Structure 1
Amino acid sequence: MDTLSYKTISANKATATKEWIVVDATDQVLGRLGSKVAKLLRGKYKPNFTPHVDCGDNVIIINADKVKMTGNKWNDRVYLSHTGYPGGQREMTPARLQAKPNGNDRLLRKVVKGMLPKNKLGAEILTNMYVYAGSEHKHEAQNPKNIDINLLK
Protein backbone atom coordinates (compact mmCIF):
# COMPACT_ATOMS: atom_id res chain seq x y z
CA MET A 1 0.00 0.00 0.00
CA ASP A 2 1.58 3.24 -1.15
CA THR A 3 0.21 5.97 1.10
CA LEU A 4 1.63 8.72 3.19
CA SER A 5 3.60 7.41 6.07
CA TYR A 6 2.47 8.62 9.46
CA LYS A 7 5.14 8.38 12.07
CA THR A 8 4.57 8.61 15.76
CA ILE A 9 6.78 11.37 17.08
CA SER A 10 8.23 10.54 20.45
CA ALA A 11 9.62 13.35 22.59
CA ASN A 12 12.98 13.02 24.28
CA LYS A 13 14.91 15.15 26.72
CA ALA A 14 16.33 17.34 23.95
CA THR A 15 13.06 17.97 22.10
CA ALA A 16 10.79 18.45 25.13
CA THR A 17 9.55 22.04 25.45
CA LYS A 18 9.40 22.80 29.14
CA GLU A 19 7.69 25.98 30.30
CA TRP A 20 7.40 27.68 33.68
CA ILE A 21 3.87 27.97 35.06
CA VAL A 22 2.57 29.76 38.17
CA VAL A 23 -0.48 28.28 39.90
CA ASP A 24 -2.31 30.19 42.64
CA ALA A 25 -3.59 27.79 45.30
CA THR A 26 -5.84 30.32 47.05
CA ASP A 27 -9.18 28.67 47.96
CA GLN A 28 -8.42 25.59 45.83
CA VAL A 29 -9.41 22.13 47.04
CA LEU A 30 -6.21 20.22 47.82
CA GLY A 31 -6.89 16.97 45.93
CA ARG A 32 -8.23 18.63 42.78
CA LEU A 33 -5.32 21.06 42.74
CA GLY A 34 -2.89 18.17 43.23
CA SER A 35 -4.29 16.13 40.35
CA LYS A 36 -4.09 19.06 37.91
CA VAL A 37 -0.57 19.94 39.05
CA ALA A 38 0.46 16.28 38.62
CA LYS A 39 -0.87 16.34 35.04
CA LEU A 40 1.03 19.58 34.35
CA LEU A 41 4.23 18.12 35.78
CA ARG A 42 3.81 14.94 33.78
CA GLY A 43 3.07 16.79 30.51
CA LYS A 44 -0.36 15.24 29.92
CA TYR A 45 -1.80 18.52 28.62
CA LYS A 46 0.77 18.66 25.79
CA PRO A 47 0.22 17.15 22.33
CA ASN A 48 3.68 15.52 22.32
CA PHE A 49 3.21 13.64 25.63
CA THR A 50 5.54 10.68 25.93
CA PRO A 51 5.05 8.38 28.95
CA HIS A 52 8.69 7.52 29.57
CA VAL A 53 10.13 11.06 29.25
CA ASP A 54 9.99 14.08 31.54
CA CYS A 55 8.26 16.40 29.07
CA GLY A 56 6.11 18.29 31.58
CA ASP A 57 6.33 21.86 32.77
CA ASN A 58 8.00 23.40 35.81
CA VAL A 59 5.18 24.38 38.17
CA ILE A 60 5.40 27.10 40.82
CA ILE A 61 2.62 26.94 43.41
CA ILE A 62 2.04 30.16 45.35
CA ASN A 63 -0.24 30.78 48.36
CA ALA A 64 0.01 27.13 49.41
CA ASP A 65 -1.03 28.09 52.94
CA LYS A 66 -4.50 29.11 51.65
CA VAL A 67 -5.44 25.70 50.23
CA LYS A 68 -8.64 24.11 51.57
CA MET A 69 -10.12 20.69 52.15
CA THR A 70 -13.81 19.89 52.10
CA GLY A 71 -15.60 18.49 55.10
CA ASN A 72 -13.56 17.74 58.20
CA LYS A 73 -10.63 16.22 56.33
CA TRP A 74 -8.08 18.50 58.00
CA ASN A 75 -8.45 16.43 61.18
CA ASP A 76 -10.13 13.19 60.07
CA ARG A 77 -7.78 12.17 57.25
CA VAL A 78 -4.78 10.20 58.48
CA TYR A 79 -1.46 9.74 56.69
CA LEU A 80 0.41 6.66 57.92
CA SER A 81 4.16 6.13 57.90
CA HIS A 82 6.45 3.57 59.46
CA THR A 83 9.86 4.05 61.02
CA GLY A 84 10.98 0.52 60.22
CA TYR A 85 11.17 -0.51 63.88
CA PRO A 86 8.62 -2.73 65.66
CA GLY A 87 5.68 -0.63 66.76
CA GLY A 88 6.92 2.24 64.63
CA GLN A 89 3.71 3.12 62.81
CA ARG A 90 3.09 6.87 62.98
CA GLU A 91 -0.06 8.85 62.21
CA MET A 92 -0.19 12.39 60.85
CA THR A 93 -3.20 14.53 59.98
CA PRO A 94 -3.01 17.23 57.30
CA ALA A 95 -3.55 19.94 59.95
CA ARG A 96 -0.57 18.71 62.01
CA LEU A 97 1.57 18.32 58.90
CA GLN A 98 0.79 21.85 57.73
CA ALA A 99 1.56 23.27 61.19
CA LYS A 100 5.13 21.93 61.08
CA PRO A 101 8.00 23.99 59.65
CA ASN A 102 7.86 23.88 55.84
CA GLY A 103 4.52 22.08 56.26
CA ASN A 104 2.75 23.58 53.24
CA ASP A 105 5.51 22.30 50.96
CA ARG A 106 5.48 18.85 52.59
CA LEU A 107 1.69 18.55 52.38
CA LEU A 108 1.49 19.47 48.69
CA ARG A 109 4.46 17.25 47.81
CA LYS A 110 2.82 14.31 49.61
CA VAL A 111 -0.42 14.82 47.69
CA VAL A 112 1.19 15.28 44.26
CA LYS A 113 3.71 12.46 44.79
CA GLY A 114 0.85 10.01 45.25
CA MET A 115 -0.50 10.99 41.83
CA LEU A 116 2.78 10.51 39.94
CA PRO A 117 4.37 7.23 38.78
CA LYS A 118 6.05 5.26 41.54
CA ASN A 119 9.46 4.99 39.85
CA LYS A 120 12.60 7.03 39.11
CA LEU A 121 10.75 9.16 36.57
CA GLY A 122 8.10 10.12 39.14
CA ALA A 123 10.79 11.17 41.61
CA GLU A 124 12.52 13.22 38.91
CA ILE A 125 9.27 14.89 37.85
CA LEU A 126 8.49 15.90 41.44
CA THR A 127 11.68 18.00 41.51
CA ASN A 128 10.05 20.31 38.92
CA MET A 129 7.51 21.55 41.49
CA TYR A 130 8.22 24.60 43.65
CA VAL A 131 5.90 25.44 46.55
CA TYR A 132 5.71 28.80 48.34
CA ALA A 133 3.43 29.70 51.25
CA GLY A 134 3.11 33.37 50.27
CA SER A 135 2.49 35.11 46.98
CA GLU A 136 6.19 35.81 46.33
CA HIS A 137 8.53 33.42 44.54
CA LYS A 138 12.13 33.62 43.36
CA HIS A 139 11.65 32.47 39.75
CA GLU A 140 10.93 35.78 38.00
CA ALA A 141 14.00 35.27 35.79
CA GLN A 142 12.29 32.31 34.08
CA ASN A 143 9.31 34.51 32.98
CA PRO A 144 6.62 32.11 34.25
CA LYS A 145 3.08 32.18 32.86
CA ASN A 146 0.14 32.62 35.23
CA ILE A 147 -2.62 30.13 34.49
CA ASP A 148 -6.04 29.59 35.99
CA ILE A 149 -6.06 26.01 37.28
CA ASN A 150 -9.86 25.91 37.13
CA LEU A 151 -9.83 26.09 33.31
CA LEU A 152 -7.91 22.80 33.01
CA LYS A 153 -9.75 19.48 32.84
Structure 2
Amino acid sequence: MSAYERVKQWNTFARIWHIYDAKWQNPFDSAKVISKHIQGLHKPIYHPLNNCGDHVIVFNSRHIALPGYEWKKRAYFHHTGYPGGASWTLAWQLHEINPTLVMQKAVKWELPRGLSKFGLMARLHIFPDEEIPEELLKNVTSQLRQLRPVPRTLDSYSDKEIEEFPKVMDYPNDYILK
Protein backbone atom coordinates (compact mmCIF):
# COMPACT_ATOMS: atom_id res chain seq x y z
CA MET A 1 0.00 0.00 0.00
CA SER A 2 1.42 3.34 -1.01
CA ALA A 3 1.73 6.23 1.41
CA TYR A 4 -0.99 8.11 -0.50
CA GLU A 5 -3.45 5.22 -0.18
CA ARG A 6 -2.63 4.92 3.51
CA VAL A 7 -3.40 8.61 4.09
CA LYS A 8 -6.69 8.26 2.21
CA GLN A 9 -7.61 5.34 4.45
CA TRP A 10 -6.70 7.29 7.61
CA ASN A 11 -8.81 10.24 6.43
CA THR A 12 -11.74 7.95 5.74
CA PHE A 13 -11.78 6.42 9.21
CA ALA A 14 -10.73 9.53 11.17
CA ARG A 15 -13.18 11.85 12.89
CA ILE A 16 -12.94 15.21 11.17
CA TRP A 17 -13.91 18.46 12.85
CA HIS A 18 -15.95 20.81 10.65
CA ILE A 19 -16.84 24.44 11.36
CA TYR A 20 -20.01 26.14 10.12
CA ASP A 21 -20.97 29.83 10.24
CA ALA A 22 -24.74 30.09 10.86
CA LYS A 23 -24.97 33.86 10.34
CA TRP A 24 -28.04 34.69 8.22
CA GLN A 25 -28.68 30.99 7.52
CA ASN A 26 -31.96 29.11 7.75
CA PRO A 27 -31.47 26.62 10.61
CA PHE A 28 -33.74 24.00 9.00
CA ASP A 29 -31.77 23.96 5.73
CA SER A 30 -28.48 24.09 7.63
CA ALA A 31 -29.57 21.19 9.84
CA LYS A 32 -29.79 18.89 6.81
CA VAL A 33 -26.14 19.54 5.92
CA ILE A 34 -24.94 19.40 9.53
CA SER A 35 -26.77 16.14 10.29
CA LYS A 36 -25.19 14.45 7.25
CA HIS A 37 -21.74 15.23 8.59
CA ILE A 38 -22.62 14.25 12.17
CA GLN A 39 -23.92 10.86 11.01
CA GLY A 40 -21.07 10.30 8.53
CA LEU A 41 -23.35 10.08 5.48
CA HIS A 42 -20.73 11.91 3.40
CA LYS A 43 -18.16 9.13 3.92
CA PRO A 44 -17.83 6.12 1.60
CA ILE A 45 -17.75 3.71 4.56
CA TYR A 46 -21.14 4.81 5.95
CA HIS A 47 -23.45 2.17 7.35
CA PRO A 48 -26.36 2.79 9.74
CA LEU A 49 -24.70 0.58 12.37
CA ASN A 50 -21.25 2.10 11.80
CA ASN A 51 -20.27 4.95 14.14
CA CYS A 52 -18.24 7.02 11.66
CA GLY A 53 -19.65 10.55 12.00
CA ASP A 54 -17.69 13.76 12.42
CA HIS A 55 -17.83 16.68 14.85
CA VAL A 56 -19.42 19.96 13.74
CA ILE A 57 -18.87 23.34 15.40
CA VAL A 58 -21.61 25.87 14.65
CA PHE A 59 -21.02 29.51 15.57
CA ASN A 60 -23.07 32.72 15.21
CA SER A 61 -26.29 30.88 16.07
CA ARG A 62 -27.57 34.12 17.59
CA HIS A 63 -27.79 35.56 14.04
CA ILE A 64 -29.84 32.84 12.31
CA ALA A 65 -32.63 33.85 9.92
CA LEU A 66 -35.94 32.02 9.85
CA PRO A 67 -38.01 32.37 6.67
CA GLY A 68 -41.25 34.34 6.52
CA TYR A 69 -43.24 34.50 9.74
CA GLU A 70 -41.49 31.50 11.32
CA TRP A 71 -40.27 33.54 14.30
CA LYS A 72 -43.87 34.32 15.26
CA LYS A 73 -45.63 31.12 14.18
CA ARG A 74 -43.24 28.25 14.95
CA ALA A 75 -43.86 26.87 18.43
CA TYR A 76 -41.84 24.33 20.41
CA PHE A 77 -43.48 21.93 22.85
CA HIS A 78 -42.12 21.18 26.31
CA HIS A 79 -43.57 19.08 29.12
CA THR A 80 -42.20 19.05 32.66
CA GLY A 81 -43.65 15.62 33.44
CA TYR A 82 -46.02 16.98 36.07
CA PRO A 83 -49.77 17.38 35.59
CA GLY A 84 -50.46 20.63 33.76
CA GLY A 85 -46.79 20.95 32.82
CA ALA A 86 -47.32 21.22 29.07
CA SER A 87 -46.22 24.46 27.44
CA TRP A 88 -45.68 25.84 23.96
CA THR A 89 -42.92 28.38 23.38
CA LEU A 90 -42.66 30.52 20.23
CA ALA A 91 -39.38 30.48 18.32
CA TRP A 92 -38.49 34.10 19.11
CA GLN A 93 -39.06 33.53 22.84
CA LEU A 94 -36.95 30.38 22.82
CA HIS A 95 -34.22 32.23 20.91
CA GLU A 96 -34.19 35.02 23.50
CA ILE A 97 -33.85 32.49 26.34
CA ASN A 98 -31.00 30.58 24.69
CA PRO A 99 -29.73 31.53 21.17
CA THR A 100 -28.48 28.00 20.50
CA LEU A 101 -31.74 26.10 21.11
CA VAL A 102 -33.46 26.74 17.75
CA MET A 103 -30.43 25.43 15.86
CA GLN A 104 -30.04 22.52 18.26
CA LYS A 105 -33.68 21.48 17.88
CA ALA A 106 -33.47 21.78 14.08
CA VAL A 107 -30.46 19.44 13.93
CA LYS A 108 -32.02 17.04 16.44
CA TRP A 109 -35.14 16.82 14.23
CA GLU A 110 -33.03 15.78 11.21
CA LEU A 111 -31.23 12.95 13.01
CA PRO A 112 -32.65 9.40 12.96
CA ARG A 113 -34.96 8.37 15.77
CA GLY A 114 -33.56 6.07 18.44
CA LEU A 115 -30.93 5.87 21.13
CA SER A 116 -28.10 6.75 18.74
CA LYS A 117 -29.42 10.33 18.57
CA PHE A 118 -27.85 11.20 21.95
CA GLY A 119 -24.39 10.06 20.82
CA LEU A 120 -24.77 11.96 17.56
CA MET A 121 -25.87 15.15 19.32
CA ALA A 122 -22.73 14.96 21.48
CA ARG A 123 -20.73 15.69 18.29
CA LEU A 124 -22.57 18.97 17.74
CA HIS A 125 -21.02 22.05 19.36
CA ILE A 126 -23.09 25.25 19.04
CA PHE A 127 -21.95 28.72 20.11
CA PRO A 128 -24.09 31.88 19.99
CA ASP A 129 -21.27 34.20 18.88
CA GLU A 130 -17.82 34.00 17.33
CA GLU A 131 -16.11 33.12 20.62
CA ILE A 132 -15.11 29.46 20.29
CA PRO A 133 -12.81 27.79 22.85
CA GLU A 134 -9.24 27.38 21.65
CA GLU A 135 -9.28 23.64 22.49
CA LEU A 136 -12.00 23.08 19.89
CA LEU A 137 -10.48 25.34 17.24
CA LYS A 138 -7.25 23.30 17.35
CA ASN A 139 -9.18 20.27 16.04
CA VAL A 140 -10.91 21.99 13.09
CA THR A 141 -9.71 20.77 9.69
CA SER A 142 -12.65 21.55 7.41
CA GLN A 143 -15.19 24.29 6.83
CA LEU A 144 -18.76 23.70 5.68
CA ARG A 145 -20.02 26.19 3.11
CA GLN A 146 -22.88 28.49 3.94
CA LEU A 147 -26.02 27.68 1.97
CA ARG A 148 -26.87 31.27 1.12
CA PRO A 149 -24.61 34.32 0.89
CA VAL A 150 -24.53 36.80 3.75
CA PRO A 151 -25.64 40.24 2.54
CA ARG A 152 -23.25 43.13 3.03
CA THR A 153 -24.21 46.10 5.15
CA LEU A 154 -24.25 49.59 3.68
CA ASP A 155 -21.35 50.57 5.94
CA SER A 156 -19.12 47.93 4.36
CA TYR A 157 -19.18 49.55 0.89
CA SER A 158 -16.42 52.05 0.13
CA ASP A 159 -17.11 55.48 -1.35
CA LYS A 160 -15.54 54.35 -4.63
CA GLU A 161 -17.91 51.36 -4.88
CA ILE A 162 -20.90 53.60 -4.22
CA GLU A 163 -19.83 56.08 -6.92
CA GLU A 164 -19.21 53.30 -9.47
CA PHE A 165 -22.59 51.67 -8.83
CA PRO A 166 -24.85 52.14 -11.89
CA LYS A 167 -27.50 54.81 -11.38
CA VAL A 168 -30.96 54.90 -12.90
CA MET A 169 -30.89 58.67 -13.10
CA ASP A 170 -28.89 61.66 -11.92
CA TYR A 171 -30.69 64.39 -10.03
CA PRO A 172 -30.23 67.90 -11.41
CA ASN A 173 -28.00 70.23 -9.42
CA ASP A 174 -30.89 72.51 -8.46
CA TYR A 175 -33.06 69.58 -7.17
CA ILE A 176 -34.09 69.93 -3.51
CA LEU A 177 -34.81 66.82 -1.45
CA LYS A 178 -37.66 67.19 1.01
| Fold-level similarity (TM above 0.5) | yes
- The answer to whether residue 86 in structure 2 is matched with residue 80 in structure 1 is no
Instruction: Map Cα deviations across residues 22-61 of structure 1 (whole Å, 9 max, x no partner).
Output: 0011111110011111111111111111111221110000
Instruction: Map Cα deviations across residues 73-103 of structure 1 (whole Å, 9 max, x no partner).
Output: 1111111122222222101111111111xx1
Look up the match of 1:37: 34
One-letter identity of the residue aligned with 1:124: G
Aligned residue for 2:20, secondary structure, equals strand
- Contact 2:27–2:102, Cα closer than 8 Å, also in 1: no
- Contact 1:36–1:149, Cα closer than 8 Å, also in 2: no
Residue 133 of structure 1: how far off its partner (Å): 1.3
TM-score for the superposition, normalised by structure 1 = 0.81
Q: In the comparison of the two structures, how many residue pairs are matched?
A: 135
- Contact 2:75–2:91, Cα closer than 8 Å, also in 1: yes
* Mapped partners of 1:79, 1:143: distance in 2: 32
The sequence identity of aligned pairs, in percent, is 25
- Contact 2:16–2:140, Cα closer than 8 Å, also in 1: no
The aligned runs of 1:134-149 (5 Å cut-off) are 134-138=129-133, 139-149=136-146
Return closer, same or farther for 1:47/1:92 CA change in 2, 3 Å cut-off: same
Residue 120 of structure 1: how far off its partner (Å): 2.0
Aligned residue for 1:97, secondary structure, equals helix
- Contact 1:53–1:121, Cα closer than 8 Å, also in 2: no
- Contact 1:54–1:125, Cα closer than 8 Å, also in 2: no
- The answer to whether residue 94 in structure 2 is matched with residue 112 in structure 1 is no
TM-score for the superposition, normalised by structure 2 = 0.70
Instruction: Map Cα deviations across residues 102-142 of structure 1 (whole Å, 9 max, x no partner).
Output: x1222221111111122221110100010111123121221
CA RMSD of aligned residues (A): 1.7
